[in-house]
Amino acid sequence: MPHHLTISSLNTALAAQCYICNRFWARLNAEQQSNLASVMSVDAAAGIDCEESRGYLTTCDLKDATRYGFPGCYLLQIIYTARLKSSARVKLILQPLSQIDESLRCNDVDVSNMSDRSWSLAEKWISECTTSHAQCNVEAKDRDWHPTRLLDVASTDASANIIRLMESQEVAAGSPYMTLSHRWGTSKPLQLRRETFEQLRAGILLESLPLTFRDAVLVTRRLSIRYLWIDALCILQNEDDLSDWIKEASLMHKVYSAAYCNISAAAASESFHGLFVSRDPALLICPTIKLSLGEHRPKEDYLISDVNFWDTEVSRAPINARGWVLQERILANRVLHFGERQLMWECGEKDAAETYPNGLDNAISSLSDDVRFKDLCPDTYIRQARRFRDPIHHPELSAHFLWVRVVEAYTRCQLTNPDDKLVALSGIAKRFSSILRDTYVAGMWRRYLASELTWSVDSSSFKQPDPDMSSRAMSYRAPSFSWACVDGAIMPGMPSDQGILLDIEAVQLEYFTDDHTGAIRGGYLNVRARLKQIQLIRRFTGGRDQWIMILNGIEISTMNDLGRQGESQPLIMLDDLRESYAEFVAGKIFYIVPARLSTNLSGNLYMLLLEALENDWGTYRRVGYARSFVKATQKALLEPKEQDAGFPCREYRDGQHSITII
């Protein structure tokens, strides 16, 4: 159905405080809002009021929600695609008031998130969590641990405006401390450096800090906590000597997991933004409408709720796009988010907000994919997994599948310094290591490494890529067989020990430090597997650019019997998305290593695409990934041939090659 015909119509609705349209606007990212605002400005200057020639600006649809588990309710979706680089939509649920749990509703909020009412709610969340959430208080063994340095923010009449840097040995055992998750942005706030160390030790004025830091101090004091940890002020930031940064980075898992509560500057794009916001309460409270959905049916009161609320306000907040913050959010026992519009709460047992003070509505929790982010915490997940009695779902395997979800989330985040790829994940890796009792291998795990090698670049995450943009890192940070060597979102290889077709004989990694979850200097795998020599031809098929595989001079790719919207088989995905690299690949000789034959209904053969190093016989570099469910293709790639013996390898025996992948 049509919704808004014109941009001016949408703009009028936003100004009139329409809840639905304002939730739609909030759903747009900053780039989309900027694009739309510029269109509004141009059209306004030109005096354009009608845009029927462009078609509808937004459309909507209303669906019966019974199929989603909410009988008597309706799903309303607002969709916008015009003039934006990507489509955007918001989904809302209409529920009869008779079905609403009134204890979860909030009918009033203040004009600021630093009001007494907001503070009382934050204190209530923390008190409830620390006294009654068993799941959030199991790490008592870390209670006496403190970071190397902390800020003493104790407020007394004589020193209310002074904070001091303390060494851990100066902090009384058992003293709780807060942490801050923030974005540095382009600003250069006061930092702990060799030249400012004594100044911070002696004490500095609170006014000398950027606004986000000052606000974090006020929150810490308001919660009656004496100590606060901020990375910029508690880790030496001298670029010419990274020894302290490297040491402290290896402790990140403990810094956040042992903290009393983490303060998240969710809406702050840089350090001078601050935590506290003013807002229009009318745009926060879910409205009710009278609706008649039948000619002879009486009007009934329905509550409108934003199904995408948590994703919009928390998951898509600027802070949670940072790669470093993923482990901060996962490992902290409790997180108080200072969002763009309101306070939000996240712990092992509850997600809440000022508009949902006692926990999110069931519709939001059930219909949104991103709620219960804290379930990604390995300790929480393992405790839940122990409920399973089926040996297929034993906790350790469950944790390996959880790692896949963590990697998916992490690789969709951004890093200011891409070389931090492994370091920024090391805290979570350490926590997983203690649970899995497995060896960490450059972002993967040794037990199921053969299947985890079959990761691929998610090319859909690169919107309108620059022809010269590369998903593969320009500087070395991991071996080619690890997903950590690429930028952007990846689809991890699923952990499995079924249908494995290669044998990993040795794993060798060289690290910059003693931390084996941190930065890597070099490494390789010794693998015993079947090699097939192939060529790749680029061809426009099925309405898109695809790769055709040539084996022994014969084209083995097919478009027949696919059932996958014209996807060429085998499906070939390069690790490097540059146009120039694609041109380099076309017609060149490569090698395929079959890694795993799926035992489920898909029946896929998963393969690694390798390039032989010219100056090192038997050594290869990974350049991509392939998979195929076509049986004839699988047979051709698995069947030994006499010419296979001549392929570069350290040893050829029983139809298999011993090779090295760097």
Domain residue spans of the chain? 7-99, 116-279+311-369, 444-662
Contact 548, 568 (CB under 8 A): yes
Nearest residue to 435 (alpha-carbon basis) of 376, 482, 370, 479: 376
Q: What is the rounded CA–CA span in Å between residue 594 and residue 596? A: 6
- CA triple 293-298-299, angle to 5 deg: 70
Decide: helix, strand or coil at residue 52. helix
Decide if 637 contacts 609 (C-beta within 8 A): no
With a cut of 70, say whether residue 509 has pLDDT above it. yes
Residue 256 has pLDDT above 60, yes or no: yes
Q: Report the alpha-carbon distance of residue 263 to residue 278 in Å, rounded.
A: 18
> 300, 369, 366, 285: which is closest to 94 by C-alpha?
300
Mean pLDDT across the chain: 88
Least trusted range by pLDDT, from 230-239, 267-276, 466-475: 466-475
pLDDT tens digits, 155-197: 655 567 899 999 999 999 999 999 999 998 877 778 999 999 9
- Kindly report the backbone phi and psi dihedral angles of residue 265, in degrees, each rounded to the nearest multiple of 5, phi listed first: -80, 70
- Is the model's pLDDT at 394 over the cut of 60? no
Q: Is the pLDDT of residue 616 over 80?
A: yes
Residue 120: partners with Cβ closer than 8 Å, 6 or more residues away: none
Tokens of 413: 């985040």
pLDDT exceeds cutoff 90 at 31 = no
Between the CA atoms of 427, 429, 432 and 437, what dihedral angle is there, to the nearest 10 degrees? -120
> Which of 34, 45, 39 lies closest to 7, judged by CA?
39
Residue from 352, 324, 320 nearest 336 by CA: 352
Q: SS3 of 472, please? A: strand
pLDDT of residue 563: 42
Tokens of 639: 């069947």
- pLDDT above 90 for 605: yes
The residue whose two tokens read 């019997």 is: 561
- How many residues make up the chain in this entry? 662
The answer to whether the predicted template modeling score (pTM) of the entire model surpasses 0.75 is yes
Nearest to 360 by CA among 302, 326, 311, 413: 311
**Confidence at residue 424, expressed as pLDDT on a 0 to 100 scale:** 95
- Phi, psi angles (nearest 5°) of residue 196: -110, 0
Cα distance between residue 316 and residue 592, in whole Å: 39
Rounded (to 5) percent helix, strand, coil in the chain: 35, 25, 40
pLDDT for the residue 388:
45
Range of lowest pLDDT (287-291, 305-309, 560-564, 590-594):
560-564
Structure tokens of 652? 């050829």
- Out of 98-112, 136-150, 516-530, give the one with best mean pLDDT: 516-530
What is the spatial distance between Cα 417 and Cα 194, in angstroms, rounded to a whole number?
22
Q: Give 391's pLDDT tier (boundaries 50, 70, 90).
A: very low
Which residues are paired to 58 by β-bridges?
80
Instruction: Report CA 354 to chain centroid distance, whole Å.
Output: 24
Give the CA diameter of the chain.
87
pLDDT in the model for residue 156: 58
Burial class (CB in 10 A: 0-12, 13-18, 19+), 390: exposed
The four Cα atoms 387, 392, 397, 399 give a dihedral, to 10 degrees, of -30
- Summarize pLDDT for 397-453 with one digit per residue, the tens: 778 998 999 999 999 999 988 899 999 999 999 989 988 889 999 999 999 999 999
Q: What is the mean pLDDT of residues 52-72?
A: 82
Q: Which residue has the tokens 């800020």?
A: 151
pLDDT score at 42: 55
| Nearest CA among 100, 142, 542 for reference residue 356 | 100
Count of beta carbons in the 10 Å neighbourhood of residue 199:
14
> Could you tell me the CA-to-CA distances from 402 to 360, 381, 636 in Å, in that order?
23, 8, 35
Distance between CA atoms of residues 515 and 247, nearest Å: 9
Comparing 343-357, 482-496, 539-553, which segment has the lowest mean pLDDT?
A: 539-553
For residue 390, the model assigns a pLDDT of 43
Which structure tokens are listed for 36? 């739309």
pLDDT of 110: 94
- 53, 397, 400, 424 from 404: Cα distances, Å: 46, 11, 7, 16
Strand 74-80 relative to strand 589-597: parallel, antiparallel, unpaired? unpaired
**Pair 547, 587: CB distance under 8 Å:** no
What is the number of other CB atoms lying within 10 angstroms of the CB of residue 201?
14
* DSSP conformation letters of 91-157: EEEEEEGGG--GGG------SBTTSHHHHHHHHHHHHHHHHH-GGGS--GGGTT---SEEEE----T
Residue 410 makes CB contacts below 8 A (sequence gap 6+) with 323, 326, 424, 425, 428
Query: 3-state SS of 332-383?
Result: CCEEEEECCCCEEEEECCCEEECCECCCCCHHHHHHCCCCCHHHHCHHHHHH
Joined tokens for residue 326: 């993923």
Reference 532, options 662, 372, 659, 356; nearest CA is 659
Question: In which band, very low, low, confident or very high, does the pLDDT at 138 lie, cut at 50, 70 and 90?
Answer: low
Residue in 407, 594, 621 with CA at minimum distance from that of residue 495: 407
Token pair listed for 185? 């942005």
Question: Hey, what are 575's tokens?
Answer: 């690790």
3-state secondary structure of 649: coil
State the sign of the Cα–Cα–Cα–Cα dihedral 39, 45, 50, 53: negative
By three-state DSSP, how is residue 2 classified?
A: strand
